Structure 1
Amino acid sequence: MNWNSIKKTLGPGILFASTAIGVSHLVQSTRAGADYGFALFAFVILANVLKFPFFEYAARYAAATGESLIDGYKRLGKFAIWGYFLAILASMFFVTAAIGLVTAGFMDNLFGLSSLWPSFNLFPVVLVFLISAGVLLIGKFNLIDSIIKVIGGILFISTLIVFVLILIKGPEPYAAGFKKPEVFNEVGILFIVALMGWMPTALDISSWVSLWSVEKMKTTNYRPTLKESLFDFNLGYWISVFLSICFLCIGAYLLYGTGNVLPSDSVGFADGIIKLYAETIGQWSYILIAISAFSIMLGTSLGVFDGYSRTLQRISKILFFSETDKNEEQRLRKILIASILILSLGSLSIIFFFKGQFKTLIDLATTISFLIAPLIAIANFKLVTKKYVDEAFVPNRFMKVLSYIGIVFLTGFALFYLYIKLT
């Protein structure tokens, strides 16, 4: 690899990392540390490691075929592409609603927007959706790509500083009479499932990695090698894994056992997270961290709008377009606009329905993603066998073994969760 080829390849992995760092890290990882200390550390590592092959296969498949995983699902059969379509419809409104609500919380905390229109408390969320949709409708993948790289870098550096400082300082002392919470009761198990659902992010959006990879090839007119594609993906993936550990440590060191809790509303939660940084680095840093945190959440929102709209666009073309459609470009544009509108209105409806239940919405969204994960894992694994890609792109024995373990783990835990809920 040389720097010129890396520049042409780098992007989809960073975009993936930015999308992942949002709710799963800022919210769920911090909550895990704040509520349970390091008791859930192993589950964070397990989820990240055992999901890794199925995300990696998205980049691998795109490099091997020049097409997205969604096209691959069609090759598995109509049941697979329709099943994926239904899975996306079942989860996308909850996912977008959760991310929109968190992003709006950080935006409102930074700019105080709710005070501008007190009678319309969804105003910050609507503004987040309008910004995300507007950037997407400009139709410039490079713009999103560039924005994500900058804001992701800012949050990475500030989080790394806080992480190092708290390791040097050590954990805050426990409050008098503190008792460690039970992990393996129903409440603990339900939170573990929710935590792993988006760790590092939802597995059903693995197709976005391949969609972004294909788009990157189009914009640069460069077809990367497998090594180059995996370098880009691995860089983004393992940065997101490292940051998930950082956020868990921040919650465990600064909140666990102290008697202090993060507020349950989105604006208060945002303020609580930013204060953790500011109290560690110095109060002078509050505004810088507030801007960084909002920026990374806005980056997540941009990634989600882009990913879901591309997914719906691609599925629509596969399922409903003829091979000789003369108006394909116009129809795809209309589908993009319709997808953005439907995604926005559906997600706003979910937010309105779950009004005042911030953490409940987050946990529900992440749980739905976890229950879908085993099916996506099996499909992704199947697409990188010799039947669908050249032998040079087939994963090695270690990745295959890790895939089998991952499928068993995801399936077993999903069934265990359903057993807990139904008994």
Structure 2
Amino acid sequence: MPNQKDGTEQVPLSELRDQQNAVLNKLAYANVIDEWKPGQSLYKLAAQVDTDLAAELKAAGLEHLVIKDYVNKNAQSGFCAIAFEDPKTGEVGMSFRGTEGMDDLLHDPKDMADNTLTASIGVSPQSLEAIAFFEKNEEKSGKNYLFGHSKGGELAAEVYATNYTHVLGVHIINPQPINPYKLGPDQLAALQSKKFDAVVVNGDLVSWLGRTPYPVRYVENNGTQPGFFGPHSIDSMKLDHRGYAVIEKDPFSGYAWQGLASTIATAVMGDIQSHLRVYSFAINTVVRVGNFMINDLPDMVHKFVEYLKQAIERFRVISNAARTALIQFVGSLVKGVSLLFNLAFNAGYRYATANPMIKVDTYKLRNYADQLESINRRISHIDRRMDSLYLKAGFSDLWNLLQADLFTEESWNIKKCIYYLNETADDFETVERKIIQQL
């Protein structure tokens, strides 16, 4: 990573420190003005709504980033996200907003209802919106980075688990855990790779609302954020002089009540998730198959089905009959979605399904063959007439005559076409007679 003594050097998204990741996690909380346009400076937009955030962007060497897209449905579903781009490298980042008002759990019922759905069955309206937002704005060669805090961290994990081959890095802070029971083996492996970076601040409660399927970096709390949910704040993370988070060696030291609440929350939510695993797994299957087909990736579905079968076989809490039913459900789903995909996007398939009867006019096939035979006879007649010119042509005309003669010889390609048409007509008529005899 380049040396940044003054913190003003432009930094690519591939070389961020924890301090810069924190700034980009905050970015989703800024209410960007309605008049934004793609390509505008993020720094200048932030300066209009949050001068402190603008100053942090500049100090972190992120002043060069430009906005690509912004969605704020806080008043509807609660979903909010911003996509930005590095004009020099072409890298694209996306930051997802978390739940607001943590000190009052009833502050925003929409967010809390979405959190409950996500934790229990593993999917929610916001998670689907996040996946759609990513697929709209992703850098197609895969230079994509995801950021998110709290609920936003869970949304980033959802997007990554569904599109992990198109993402180079995920940096989330105090994330609500993604439901692990819905995930296939490939998704679990992706979440445990080095591309996925989850930071949890000492004393945070939200990060333990369920079982966590990825490793976390447990870091020290700087003690600046008061209240029971103070450790959940992005600003509670302690950084060293280089801008890296300080690793915590004694989890929940100084935060005994949060530690007790976290232990209970993990046990309770983990138990709920375990009991609802079949439902969450089935729903995740629907989302993933639909995602593959919509993005025209049917070749990946076959490998995906094998992953699902492996995951289903590990469900020891359900009977063999239930496991068999789940596998059959997966097969039926893939077949059904494939059919819808082909009907929507494959013109040849649409025609074939609209015209299931094969109609072959063998008379026309033989007629075409006769026409080609007539053409060949005419070519043959011209060829014989040209042969008679050899005796009359002078030496100077002989070369031109030879070249012309090459083009008028009887065409073997036409003969092959004649043979194919007649043979095809014979084959169809033979099959038709056999079918009629069996009726």
Q: TM-score, normalised by structure 2?
A: 0.23
* More contact order relative to length (CA 8 Å, sep ≥ 6): 1
If you compute each CA radius of gyration, which structure gives the higher value, 1 or 2?
A: 2
Q: Which has the higher strand share?
A: 2
Q: Which has the higher helix share?
A: 1
Q: TM-score, normalised by structure 1?
A: 0.23
